[in-house]
């Protein structure tokens, strides 16, 4: 069995769309916890602790959303205390926590997606549909890491010349503005050079074709069928309000039954599927190494 990253790019892309769709349609706390746990498990199973700093930024965003919502939303029947004459309710806090958890889960899924879906994979998925769109998308995605690397190089050069000082906040802001200005100038010049190079190579003179080095195998079809089945079961529970939650005026959950349990089970399998495949592949690889 192949991991999700080594599957066909179409399967990988559809998986991330399938796993993020339910949490964007529903604010059910348990589903959000399952989604967040699955996203974090995938990140740590693939990269270990290399994304800790990024996750801390995401966590700060969750806390910000959870704290801001009760300050502006005062609906709810369970008043905890008053702040500047305005009631702070449990329902508003719960809604803020769920909104923050949803944002954090989606960000974590898309972080894994950005690491798995490389430029050539996007070209493979969209190349047959629209070669021009796939080329523009791949160039845009490639530009982001190039811009970041160039900013780092300019910052080091500015420090070497003694033009970048970060002793105080105003000095750091002036230095960062200078670095950003230089990098933007480079980006504009690079865009002109890229356009001239593409024109010299004959871009736009004929119909574009697409080349893909990825083949769709039987395992990819089986994995895609499993993903779509789990998504269908999850959406069935969401659309029938089997796992519905109401926050205002009071926090009320729909009565849980067999369909709700099936929804939770299907989405749990969908969320942890890539982690299970990754762990299985690593175990198999270590086993084969031990045989050498």
Q: Which two tokens stand for residue 71?
A: 């300050």
Non-local (6+) Cβ contacts of 146 within 8 A are 190
> Dihedral sign, CA of 262, 265, 268, 274?
negative
Using DSSP bridges, classify how beta strands 245-246 and 79-83 pair: parallel, antiparallel or unpaired.
unpaired
The pLDDT mean for the chain works out to: 81
- Give the C-alpha separation, 109 to 22, whole Å: 13
- Evaluate whether 19 touches 38 at the Cβ level (below 8 Å): yes
Q: Where are the domains of the chain?
A: 4-122+216-291, 131-200
Mean pLDDT of 227-246: 87
Query: pTM score > 0.85 for this model?
Result: no
Number of other CB atoms surrounding residue 154 within 10 Å: 19
- Give the C-alpha separation, 14 to 185, whole Å: 37
- Give the C-alpha separation, 159 to 153, whole Å: 10
Over residues 148-168, the pLDDT tens digits come to 888 888 888 888 877 777 767
pLDDT of residue 159: 82
Q: Which of 97, 33, 42, 14 is nearest to 243 (CA)?
A: 33
- Evaluate whether 100 touches 30 at the Cβ level (below 8 Å): no
- Evaluate whether 66 touches 108 at the Cβ level (below 8 Å): no
Partners of residue 89 on adjacent β-strands: 79
Over residues 17-51, the pLDDT tens digits come to 999 998 888 888 888 899 999 998 888 887 776 77
Non-local (6+) Cβ contacts of 216 within 8 A are 8, 10
Q: State whether residue 171 is helix, strand or coil.
A: helix
**143, pLDDT greater than 90:** no
pLDDT of residue 272: 92
């Amino acid at each position: 069995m192949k991991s999700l990253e080594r599957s066909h790019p179409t399967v990988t892309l559809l998986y991330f769309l399938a796993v993020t769709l339910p949490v964007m349609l529903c604010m059910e706390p348990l589903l959000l916890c399952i989604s967040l746990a699955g996203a974090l498990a995938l990140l740590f199973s693939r990269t270990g602790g290399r994304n800790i700093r990024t996750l801390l930024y995401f966590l700060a965003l969750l806390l910000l959303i959870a704290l801001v919502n009760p300050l502006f939303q005062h609906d709810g029947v369970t008043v905890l205390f008053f702040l500047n004459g305005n009631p702070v309710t449990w329902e508003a806090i719960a809604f803020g926590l769920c909104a923050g958890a949803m944002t954090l889960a989606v960000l974590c899924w898309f972080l894994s997606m950005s690491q798995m879906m490389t430029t050539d994979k996007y070209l493979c998925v969209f190349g047959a549909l629209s070669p021009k769109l796939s080329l523009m998308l791949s160039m845009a995605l490639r530009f982001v890491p190039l811009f970041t690397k160039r900013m780092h190089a300019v910052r080091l050069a500015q420090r070497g010349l003694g033009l970048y000082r970060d002793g105080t906040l105003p000095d750091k802001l002036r230095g960062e503005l200078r670095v950003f200005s230089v990098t933007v100038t480079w980006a504009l010049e690079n865009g002109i050079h890229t356009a001239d190079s593409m024109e010299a190579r004959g871009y736009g003179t004929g119909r574009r074709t697409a080349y893909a080095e990825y083949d769709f195998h039987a395992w990819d079809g089986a994995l895609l069928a499993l993903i779509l089945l789990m998504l269908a079961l999850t959406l069935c529970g969401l659309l029938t309000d089997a796992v519905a939650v109401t926050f205002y005026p009071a926090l009320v959950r729909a009565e849980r039954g067999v369909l709700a349990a099936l929804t939770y089970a299907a989405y749990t399998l969908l969320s942890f599927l890539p982690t299970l495949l990754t762990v299985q592949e690593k175990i198999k690889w270590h086993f084969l190494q031990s045989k050498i």
